[in-house]
Amino acid sequence: MSKRAASSNHAMTPSKIRRLETEAPSLMSKQLTIVVGVGDDEKTFYIHQNIVKDHSDFFAAALNKGWKEAEDGIVRLPTEVLAHFELFARFVYFGKIYAAKAKADSEDDEAHATRVGVEAHVLFDCWIMGDRLMAVSFKDAVHDAITQLIRDERLIPVDFQNSVYPKTAGPNSLRRLLVDVAVWGWAKDILPACEMDASWMEFFRDVAVRGQEANKAQHTMTAPFMKHGCVYHEHVAAGKPCYTGLFP
């Protein structure tokens, strides 16, 4: 083989394919049995304990000595949604959020709105599940999937605060995203058309505060959800690394 050919082949080698052996995740740890759902909807997942502990403080606590789950090696999550937990299980191994729906060959505006809306609801519900599982890396990845959906599909969430605010304790990054979307993304006719109840009051307060901050900046700043990076990530406050550095 000529030197030129060798150089050419080397250029095609995927970047960062060579890693330190000390960086390799261990696959020798015991597998944790996680039973999700109940009855006919029940499904069992098997995830290496060291991997799931790295991504979820909930599972890390459950595997502490003295807990029944640590002795049995079984954790039951009867109230979680199978499809949502499966996204979490795939994430801890591959670092991706597999929630996007395939686009039909002939997709009209209504079909597009339905497809994007279904994915958005799944992502928001997954973040809320991740919050229950105390899974910072998963929540941050879901955040990135949501903001990418907003940018790619021009999605402007309107009614998600109805489910996010009652199911989460504030302040948190998902609430902040919804508030930013309302301040920077909502058209003037959206708010008057919304059907409101008492659950909106906390959301309105947050929107008012954020709106004042935006006005002081004279709206010259780019909408935060249009930026890339760790804008809505919680890993910094949690003292954890960004999930993007945990996977190849």
pLDDT recorded at residue 220: 60
Q: How many residues are present in the chain?
A: 248
> pLDDT confidence of 6, banded at 50, 70, 90?
very low
pLDDT per residue over 15-74, tens digit each? 567 777 887 777 777 899 999 999 999 999 999 999 999 999 999 999 987 788 888 899
At position 222, the amino acid (one-letter code) is T
Residue 228, classified by CB atoms within 10 Å of its CB into exposed (0-12), middle (13-18) or buried (19+), is exposed
> pLDDT confidence of 172, banded at 50, 70, 90?
very high
Place of tokens 């760790």: 230
Instruction: Name the token pair of 48.
Output: 């290496």
Q: Is the pLDDT of residue 136 over 60?
A: yes
State whether residue 93 is helix, strand or coil.
helix
Question: Residue 224 in contact with residue 231, Cβ under 8 Å?
Answer: yes
Q: Where are the domains of the chain?
A: 32-79, 96-248
Q: Using CA atoms, how far apart are residues 230 and 234, in angstroms rounded to an integer?
A: 8
Torsion of CA 34, 87, 140, 200, to 10 degrees: -100
Instruction: Name the token pair of 100.
Output: 């996007």
Q: What is the DSSP letter of 39?
A: G
pLDDT recorded at residue 217: 63
Place of tokens 């996010």: 164
* This prediction's pTM: 0.86
